Structure 1
């Protein structure tokens, strides 16, 4: 199967899963697991995306990060040939708009950009447990960003429908492995 076919298959699988109570239960387990990580306390700046309905829900995590006094930054894809992205300061007062990808992004043109983050919570459609490789949405935004900012810790919240024992997709030299994968059953740090 091609990456495109696996992406389509995963979006369908995750969309169906999103309509079940199991998805909500797993989202709560993943939220609890990340909140219990000791090193989360040491991070002040956190990059995250506003989740789509079929992704692990990040709204509760964002609220808890604010409650902890963390500085939260939402990813925003730049409309340029390089397919770059930035992380934009996000508070409960921030105005959001939907991007061309359907993701809520900060719409304020003067909002603060911070790309030197302590932690980035990386989204994806599929994650390989053995190599920590991820299958993203096909734009390469995160891989490009992470290649330029290797100092940031990376973590992914991975529900049961996103788990692959090994990558069944073509892993490119430009693909960046995720340091820590959190599943409903485990917290897996990359060796």
Structure 2
């Protein structure tokens, strides 16, 4: 299946799933799994994206990271020809804005940028269990970033509607697979 069609199908599927109690249950299971995960415990600087309503909720995770004294950095995508992104320091005092993609981002020109993070929690629409390939939102922001920062550990929080046994989409040479995938049932 081509990526464009699968993206549309997945967004619709995830929007429907977001209206269910099952999504809330799975978000809680994913939160518990990542908080107990040793890689997160051993990471001081964590990059994350503020989630959309149909994505796995990251708001409670961010609050728990702050409670644990970790440094949280929010992804900020730039609308430039390189389609680049940075991770900007985020605290409960940070001024925020909503991007053209509908994602909440740091709105402070003086915010500290840290692109050499210990761990990045990577968003996506679909993930392959066997290869850890990810279907993102189509801009290539994360793939470009991850290709340039290969030392950073990556993890994806994946609910039951996002996981596929294998890739059913076209994988391109620029696609960067996740190192770890956490589902409600397992850490892969």
5+ residue gaps in structure 1? none
TM score, norm. by length of structure 2: 0.99
CA displacement 1:73-118 (0-9 Å, x = unmatched)? 0000012100000000000000111000000000111111000000
5+ residue gaps in structure 2? none
What's the counterpart of residue 36 of structure 2? 36
Displacement of 1:42 after TM fit? 1.2
What's the counterpart of residue 126 of structure 1? 126
The answer to whether the aligner puts 1:145 opposite 2:145 as a matched pair is: yes
* SS of residue paired to 2:105: strand
- 1-structure distance, mates of 2:54, 2:133: 20
What's the counterpart of residue 170 of structure 2? 170
The count of aligned residue pairs is: 188
What's the counterpart of residue 116 of structure 2? 116
* SS of residue paired to 1:187: coil
Displacement of 1:40 after TM fit? 1.3
CA displacement 1:128-172 (0-9 Å, x = unmatched)? 000000000000000000000001000000000001000000000
TM score, norm. by length of structure 1: 0.98
Deviating beyond 2 angstroms after TM superposition, the runs of 4 or more aligned structure 1 residues are none
Cα RMSD after superposing both structures:
0.5
What's the counterpart of residue 25 of structure 1? 25
Within a 5 Å distance, the mapping from 1:1-191 to structure 2 comes to 1-188=1-188
